[in-house]
A and B are shown apart, each in its own frame.
Chain A
Amino acid sequence: MGQITLKQVTKSFGDVQVIPPLDLTIEDGEFTVFVGPSGCGKSTLLRLIAGLEDITSGHIEIDGKDATDVVPAKRGLAMVFQSYALYPHMSVRKNIAFPLKMAKMDPAEIEKRIANAASVLNLTDYLDRRPGQLSGGQRQRVAIGRAIVREPAAFLFDEPLSNLDAALRVGMRLEISELHERLKTTMIYVTHDQVEAMTMADKIVVLRAGHIEQVGSPLELYHRPRNEFVAGFIGSPKMNIFGGAEAQKYGGVKAGIRPEHIDVSMTEGTWKGKVGVAEHLGSDTFIHVHDTGLDDMVTVRITGDISVRHGDTIYLTPQLDQMHKFDVQGLRIA
């Protein structure tokens, strides 16, 4: 079990309210990702759920029981920290055993759980090493190991992959997703990387300045962003958003079109522009087009390769059924 409910939760540091009243329900077994730009309060929200920060007002319920004043250790949650927070003077085995030892568990059971976690996380050969002798990815796995042996109601991840290099990050992303498939335990994952959010989440919570902008599945957010902020934040490269007369033509105060929903031609199209930088990735090409008469430069994504040069004239045609329209408040017009 691991259903977490936040009711009218707020958090203030002194006079500054970082989390305005907020309601959220995380269902049992769900992989929920909190995503948002730096300083949006996503880590604070996670720490409130963990109990490492006291909430200013409101209630937190875990499995239907009020956990607002319950100490962190008794909430049945396990956290993986950004710095891993391994205990440097203990071996990997002792690190993983620490929460069990604190719970005064039977030593035979501790051994069994360590062996189990080590085999799941490929740590069996490293159990007697110190954290200082491990690579970044291995340390990450030890931190996860220390969390899973407790068999918690939910896992909390605080930007766990931000200290790893790009290749390792992709690998660990898969491992954490695999782990979730196997354990089926509730996981809450904080990140500022929308790629991590899109690839791992069952449910994404987009936060801005402590406010929840939208809650939904990755594809829901991609296809039906509630407002301009979510539209711009989800998707890579970013959605092209423009206002003015051109937007009014499509029936909104502002309009947006994703780079992958624009057709390119060298001879004719809706918008005419000049090619700026073209980024060739092999599988895709991103072309930045200037002087189209829109507010900003337009990014276009083309599958495969295309031979354009800096300064070439290019014609763009947006796919009208994929156009997003926004009203004065920035809300999407359905």
Chain B
Amino acid sequence: MATKASRSAARLMMAPAVILLLGWMLVPLIMTLWFSFRTYLPLRGGDQGWTGFDNYVRFVSSSAFWPAVQTTLIIVLGVLVITVCLGILLAILLDQPMWGQGIVRILVIAPFFVMPTVSALVWKNMFMDPVNGLLAHLWRFFGAEPVSWLSDASLQSIIMIVSWQWLPFATLILLTAIQSLDSEQLEAAEMDGAPVLKRFFYIILPHLSRAITIVLLIQTIFLLAIFAEIFVTTGGAFGTRTLSYLIFQRVLESQNVGLGSAGGVYAIILANIVAIFLMRIVGKNLDN
């Protein structure tokens, strides 16, 4: 941008996009804030005016609130740990020269292209069904009693489904990071007497630290909002009600828009706390 004229022209041309995006964000945000301070029961009398902070107090003091926060954190942390650890292993494996590398890589990435609703349904009906599921057959083959996954190990099942979806993303980012590692560094470490495991911990892992933080950040943002996987599997039962699912229930099942909106505002605050927290760690890691 060399001249004043070209700078103002650039601003003018960017304006529509900026205004559109801003509006897209601001309108729902302001509406959420607006409804959170009102008693709004669509099927029971509609909008009944201001209530102050009633909705906020009721949402937090509800017996479902803290378990929902806990469930959310367990799912997010569980998926992050599984995807990052397995992602690193898979990335290292895929980096090795092998026959059919291109096809294998595409297969590994494939789960990411399946819609969350579809993959959750496939897992629920094809694998985890206690009567006809593949896992039930496997269990019976070994003479064991089939597990009814989604009711007895509901949280673990959902963590498994979501991890399966996000593993390709982590693998892909970590694979590109591994490929950018200078092979002479590994050779130097080999000459310096570092065996395979030490080469991994001293050279490869530090090299991956930046990619790992990026995976953590992006996945956290998306995982805080998972919904479809819960909706089509347990429907929020068996201790799988996350914060976002609780909000959904308040608005659509209890038909209480005001209470749900207050929950939405809490979710925004929670997401921002996590984001600031992560940004600090990531910022430190991205600086050098």
Contacts and interface: CB of A to CB of B under 8 A. Distances in A.
Given A87-B203, A98-B202, A82 B189 contact: no
Nearest to B210: A89
Interface of A: 50, 52, 71-74, 77-79, 81-83, 85-90, 98-99, 102-103, 130, 132, 146, 150
Contact of A98 (B192, B206, B207, B209): B192
A311 B241 CA distance: 93
A79 B198 contact: no
A72 B194 contact: no
Nearest to A99: B192
Contact of A52 (B182, B185, B187, B206): B187
B188 interface: yes
Contacts of A86: 185
Contacts of B187: 52, 72, 79, 81, 85
Contact of B192 (A73, A82, A132): A73
How large, as a class, is the contact surface on chain B? 10 to 19
Interface of B: 182, 184-185, 187-195, 198, 202-203, 206-207, 209, 288
A72 B199 CA distance: 14
Contacts of A98: 189, 192, 194, 202
A89 B206 contact: yes
Counting chain A CB atoms within 10 Å of each CB, which of B189, B190, B193, B209 scores highest? B193
B140 to A, nearest CB: 49
B193 A103 contact: yes
A83 B184 contact: yes
8 contacts: A73-B193, A74-B193, A79-B188, A79-B191, A83-B182, A85-B185, A89-B209, A146-B192
A188 to B, nearest CB: 13
A90 B192 CA distance: 15
A91 to B, nearest CB: 11
Contacts of B202: 87, 98
B188 A132 contact: no
Contacts of B188: 79, 81, 85, 87, 146
Contacts of B198: 102
State the 4 A-B residue pairs at the shortest beta-carbon distance, nearest first.
A73-B193, A99-B192, A85-B188, A85-B184
Interface of B is mostly: helix
Contacts of A132: 288
Contacts of B185: 85-87
Contacts, number: 61
B1 to A, nearest CB: 30
A102 B195 CA distance: 9
B186 to A, nearest CB: 9
A153 B55 CA distance: 77
A207 B235 CA distance: 74
A52 B203 contact: no
A73 B184 contact: no
Nearest to B186: A85
B99 to A, nearest CB: 16
Contact of A78 (B182, B191, B288): B191
A67 B195 CA distance: 18
A112 B184 CA distance: 27
Contacts of A146: 188, 192
A237 to B, nearest CB: 34
Counting chain B CB atoms within 10 Å of each CB, which of A77, A81, A132 scores highest? A81
A252 B151 CA distance: 96
B184 A102 contact: no
A72 B195 CA distance: 10
Contacts of A79: 187-188, 191
Contact of A77 (B182, B189, B191): B191
Contacts of B288: 89, 130, 132
Contacts of B191: 50, 52, 72-73, 77-79, 99
A132 B288 CA distance: 9
Contact of B190 (A52, A89, A103): A52
Nearest to A77: B191
A83 B185 CA distance: 9
Counting chain A CB atoms within 10 Å of each CB, which of B184, B185, B191 scores highest? B191
B192 A102 contact: yes
Nearest to B190: A72
Nearest to A74: B193
A304 B193 CA distance: 53
Contacts of A90: 206
Contacts of B190: 52, 71-73
Contacts of B189: 87, 98
A186 to B, nearest CB: 16
A115 B198 CA distance: 25
A86 B207 CA distance: 12
A214 B187 CA distance: 30
Given A87-B202, A87-B203, A99 B193 contact: yes
A4 to B, nearest CB: 15
Contacts of A89: 206-207, 209, 288
Nearest to A89: B206
A89 B193 CA distance: 18
A88 B188 CA distance: 13
Counting chain B CB atoms within 10 Å of each CB, which of A50, A74, A85 scores highest? A85
Contacts of B209: 89
Given A73-B195, A89-B288, A102-B193, 20 more contacts: A50-B191, A73-B190, A73-B191, A81-B187, A82-B184, A83-B184, A85-B188, A86-B185, A87-B185, A87-B188, A87-B202, A87-B203, A87-B206, A89-B206, A98-B189, A99-B192, A99-B193, A103-B193, A132-B288, A146-B188
